[in-house]
Chain A
Amino acid sequence: MPLKEAPDAALVVSKCSICHSVDYIQMNAPFLQPAGWEAEVRKMVKVMGAPLDEAEFARVVDYLTHQYGSDQH
């Protein structure tokens, strides 16, 4: 199942799927608030070594928040 189409979907696929399939994103939805997705991506960068620069970090968080974030905010 492909990720939802949006301008940064390709960036998310290229970075996240280095280590894991993107169903990790799909199954963790839609319940995370923006701070929740930011914490997940920060963990991937700081702990797991995901190669994202600051601009890419912001774009990935923005994509996840808008496409797979909580539907209750």
Chain B
Amino acid sequence: MVIRTRRSVLQTALGTLGLIGASQIGPVARAALPSGALESEVLGRLAGKQPLLKRSFRPPNYESPVAYLNDAITPNDRFFVRWHLANIPVIDATSWRLSVGGDSAAHAYELTLAQLQHEFEPVEMVALCQCAGNRRGLSDPHVPGVQWGNGAMGNARWKGARLKDLLVRAGVAKETVEVAFNGADGPLLDGTPDFVKSIPAWKALDDNTLVAYEMNGEPLPHWNGFPARIIVPGWTATYWMKQVVSIRALPQPLSGFWMNTAYRIPKGKFPVVDRFVSQESETSTPITEILVNSLITNLEEGQRFRAGTQLVVKGLAWDGGAGLRHVEVSIDAGRTWQSAELGEDHGRFSTRAWQFAFVPHARGRMTVAARATNSQGTTQTEQLIVNPAGYHNNVIQPINVEIT
């Protein structure tokens, strides 16, 4: 279940320890979802899925309960679901076609699913798919949008063709600026802009960017984009087009609501490295890579543990592809930090499981927090970096448990 932290309780705890507003190392208080989001939250079951936390029925937006994220690989039936538009067709694999072309391609062509699977070298990669708005609901102050908690993310082993190989077959021009994707989903009203996204040509031609047709060794679930979706490792999921039907190489920037207005962050506020120059404005830029972050997956607020008995804190950590340097855990509200033990390395685009075992002795409230640092030395923020759409929330999250 989603871990719900009561702010007043937490502030009392941190206040007792003298950390509120006084310390540079103390984690900030963790905000909760809006009360309306908690009241309208239900565990709902989509076809082929385990129960997920419903944020909206139509279009379907469902997140994974944090307990589902306890392992590095997220099973397909526990993987979150996110759609912008409610007209989501059920795709027949035999009649599905992927068109590859655009004004910067010399020769457009179409692929069947069998051709996509057999005419290009298959590549496998474990990569985190994280919604740009993951944790938006924890923004303080709250901002409008789907009020996601911590579970709009999942980590899977993807298999597919390199997007680059598809583009090379189309004779893509050196002058290509962006590559645009469209999915089979669409709006219900003519006036609603179709969900179309682009990425810079350099990212489209990166060896790691895939057109995936398998997820954890199986066809993609319908709700996660069957029969094929774009995989942009390290970048937020807004670019990971589901039910992809069109790939276009463009000689100019893609325009439209979903590029010019949505999924943008203020320039210069976040520790991001990758740029999307062709879409930058004076003040804002499209969101690019995922920020370094971590999540405690096996503790709940207020949970009780016995003094003198080993307690193992488990969780995940990740970043946008630079690679993790270390994960640290604090059991004293951020005053001191100790290294966690890292689990299996599935590659730099994957989440990494970690754990921290210790024996609590002192009875009373204990405030636990985790903090990941990547190979560039970038770590998680203590204070929310406020932005209009609530993106890039990698605030250190304290959890209070009771030692009895």
Q: How large is the interface on B (under 10, 10 to 19, 20 to 34, 35 or more residues)?
A: 20 to 34
CB contacts (< 8 Å) of A36 on chain B: these are 144
B36 touches A20 (CB 8 A): no
The verdict on A20 contacting B39 (CB below 8 Å), with A28-B147, A30-B34, A49-B192 known, is no
Query: What per-residue 1/0 map shows which CB atoms of A22-54 lie under 8 Å from chain B?
Result: 011011111110001000100000011111000
CB contacts (< 8 Å) of A50 on chain B: these are 189, 191
Q: Does B257 contact A (CB under 8 A)?
A: yes
A26 touches B39 (CB 8 A): yes
B191 touches A49 (CB 8 A): yes
- A18 and B141 alpha carbons, distance in the complex (Å): 29
Interface residues of B, Cβ cutoff 8 Å to A? 34-37, 39-41, 54-59, 85-86, 137, 141-142, 144-147, 187-193, 257, 261
CB contacts (< 8 Å) of A21 on chain B: these are 56-58
- A19 and B85 alpha carbons, distance in the complex (Å): 8
CB contacts (< 8 Å) of B57 on chain A: these are 21, 23
CB contacts (< 8 Å) of A20 on chain B: these are 56, 58-59, 86
Q: Does A1 contact B (CB under 8 A)?
A: yes
30 chain-A/chain-B pairs, Cβ below 8 angstroms:
A1-B40, A18-B188, A18-B189, A19-B187, A19-B192, A20-B56, A21-B56, A21-B57, A23-B57, A24-B56, A24-B146, A26-B36, A26-B37, A27-B36, A27-B41, A27-B55, A27-B147, A28-B37, A28-B144, A29-B34, A29-B36, A30-B35, A31-B34, A31-B142, A32-B144, A36-B144, A48-B191, A49-B189, A49-B192, A68-B36
**What total of A-B pairs shows CB separation below 8 Å?**
74
- Other A-B contacts than A24-B146, A49-B192, A51-B189, 7 sampled, CB-CB below 8 A, are A19-B85, A20-B86, A26-B37, A27-B146, A28-B34, A28-B37, A28-B144
B142 touches A19 (CB 8 A): no
B interface SS class? loop
CB contacts (< 8 Å) of B56 on chain A: these are 20-21, 23-24, 27
**Closest residue to B40 on the A side, CB-wise?**
A26
- A32 and B36 alpha carbons, distance in the complex (Å): 12
CB contacts (< 8 Å) of B41 on chain A: these are 27
- A21 and B137 alpha carbons, distance in the complex (Å): 18
CB contacts (< 8 Å) of B146 on chain A: these are 24, 27
Query: What per-residue 1/0 map shows which CB atoms of A1-29 lie under 8 Å from chain B?
Result: 10000000000000000111101101111
Min distance, Cβ B185 to any Cβ of chain A, angstroms: 13
Sorted nearest first, the 3 A-B pairs with minimum C-beta distance are A49-B191, A29-B36, A27-B37
- A62 and B257 alpha carbons, distance in the complex (Å): 26
